[in-house]
Structure formats: structure tokens, C-alpha cells
């Protein structure tokens, strides 16, 4: 497995970089640069199902790099958002970061930049999270190979600039209610909302308080200046308790 990987992406006899060959190399095409130490990238794409061990019998996979890359991605995204939205508060930036690093988004981005072609050992289409995890591991590998600056450059130029419109994302409100209802349908659960209070406010505003029940078990309480907003907030709380967001 290791020999096959290096023969495919880093031919042993090629000492001087060849721009034509590099442009056709799937790993270098993803990265936008030639790695210093290819072994980090081998590990980044090595799913645990490959059952690879080193010469000491230790199991090799990308889970440690995934742990490192997750923290680095959070830092890079925070860095980018801090400078891109200078007038926004902490709550806004936290919300934006959550949208960018949520698992479904990372899975989609990983597929767009071509990681399914590089992941070793996992061939099932039933778990797209494998590719999002590999993206985090890849960021960890870039950090170990090139440092934080290269990580930030990779995320900004190879991912955000190509596939993410930050201004549009900032205007997108995630529909937590629809997401909860969709989950309930798939899991054969009954989702029920209950308006428990309408609290008059100044300027003729009304603050709505809503609860959401899953199979008659209360899982979320939401408040908002519209019934829909209260139900959205209740749904968001329920999804968090269900470990869905």
C-alpha cells in the first residue's frame, strides 16, 4: 500500500520538478505546491479500514492528523472571518464558522477539490464523512510539512476563493425546523411544536416562546419575535441535543 502510493504520486527517480508532470499529479493538483515530506500526505489519506501497519506493527491511519487539522481549520477560519468582517460581533463570526466547518459542508468541499481520488482503503459511498475527515487530516499534514502560513494559504486560495461565497453565506439562514422534520421522517419520529407563550414587548412587538417535542419528549425551547423564529430556535436546540448540528 505505501509503495503503491509513493510510486503513483511521487516517482522515485524524479529529482527535478517537471511542471507538466506536476500539473497532472492528482495530489499536487489539489495542494497547489510540491510537498517537502510526502509521508504526511500519505497518512492524511489513509483511512483506518486500509489496515496498514508500520515496520513496528503499529497501526497507521489519518485520525491523529484529523484531530490536528480540525483545530487548525477552526483557527484559520476564525482568522479569515475576523479580517473579512471587521464590523461583525463574536456571535456572527461564531455562526459563520459553524456553517463553514459543519460536517456536511466539509464533505462537500472535500469532494469538490478531488479528495475521493486520494483516500486509501475506503471505497464505500455510504459515508461521505470519510472525505471531510480526510480534508481535516490534509490540513494537519500541510501544517506539519509547511507550517501555519501554508495552511491558511491553502484554505483561502484552494477552498474558500473557489467554492465559498462568504457574503452569500452570511445571508443564508439555516432552516433548523426543516432539518429536524426531515430527520424525524427518516427516523420515524413524530415532531410536534407547541406555542407556550406570547409576551407583549415595547413598540407593539410580541416575543413568542415555543417548544418542540420528539415523540412527546420535550427536546427544545425557542424564543423569537416571530412564531417561525421561535420554532427555528427550538429546533436548533433539539438538533444539538440529538448531536445533529
- Tell me how far apart the alpha carbons of residues 167 and 171 are, in angstroms, rounded to a whole number: 7
Q: Is 136 a known active-site residue?
A: yes
* 8 Å CB contact between 24 and 129: no
Annotated catalytic residue within 107, 136, 145, 231: 136
Q: Cell 510537498 appears where?
A: 35
- Tell me how far apart the alpha carbons of residues 134 and 116 are, in angstroms, rounded to a whole number: 9
* 8 Å CB contact between 20 and 14: no
* 8 Å CB contact between 166 and 105: no
Annotated catalytic residue within 66, 70, 145, 231: 70
Which residues 6+ apart lie within 8 Å of 225 measured at CB?
Answer: 201, 205, 206, 207, 208
Cα R_g (the chain), whole angstroms:
22
Task: Provide the grid cell at 1.
Answer: 500500500
* 8 Å CB contact between 68 and 160: no
Q: Is 70 a known active-site residue?
A: yes
Catalytic site positions: 70, 136
Amino acid at each position: 500500500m505505501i509503495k503503491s502510493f509513493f510510486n503513483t504520486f511521487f516517482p522515485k527517480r524524479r529529482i527535478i520538478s517537471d511542471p507538466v508532470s506536476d500539473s497532472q499529479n492528482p495530489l499536487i493538483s489539489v495542494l497547489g505546491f510540491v510537498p517537502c515530506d510526502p509521508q504526511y500526505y500519505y497518512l492524511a489519506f489513509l483511512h483506518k479500514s486500509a489496515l496498514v501497519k508500520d515496520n513496528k506493527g503499529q497501526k497507521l491511519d489519518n485520525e491523529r492528523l484529523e484531530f490536528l487539522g480540525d483545530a487548525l481549520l477552526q483557527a484559520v477560519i476564525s482568522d479569515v472571518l475576523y479580517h473579512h468582517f471587521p464590523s461583525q460581533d463574536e456571535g456572527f463570526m461564531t455562526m459563520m464558522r459553524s456553517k463553514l466547518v459543519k460536517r456536511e459542508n466539509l464533505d462537500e468541499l472535500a469532494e469538490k477539490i478531488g479528495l475521493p481520488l486520494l483516500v486509501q482503503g475506503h471505497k464505500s459511498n455510504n459515508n461521505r464523512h470519510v472525505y471531510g475527515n480526510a480534508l481535516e487530516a490534509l490540513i494537519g499534514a500541510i501544517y506539519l510539512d509547511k507550517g501555519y502560513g501554508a495552511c491558511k494559504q491553502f484554505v483561502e486560495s484552494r477552498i474558500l476563493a473557489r467554492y465559498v461565497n462568504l457574503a452569500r453565506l452570511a445571508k443564508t439562514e439555516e432552516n433548523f425546523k426543516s432539518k429536524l422534520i426531515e430527520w424525524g421522517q427518516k427516523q420515524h419520529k413524530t415532531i410536534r411544536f407547541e406555542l407556550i407563550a406570547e409576551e407583549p414587548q415595547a413598540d407593539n412587538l410580541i416575543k413568542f416562546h415555543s417548544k418542540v417535542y420528539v415523540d412527546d419528549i420535550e427536546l427544545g425551547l425557542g424564543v423569537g419575535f416571530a412564531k417561525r423564529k421561535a420554532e427555528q430556535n427550538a429546533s436548533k436546540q433539539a438538533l444539538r441535543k440529538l448531536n445533529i448540528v
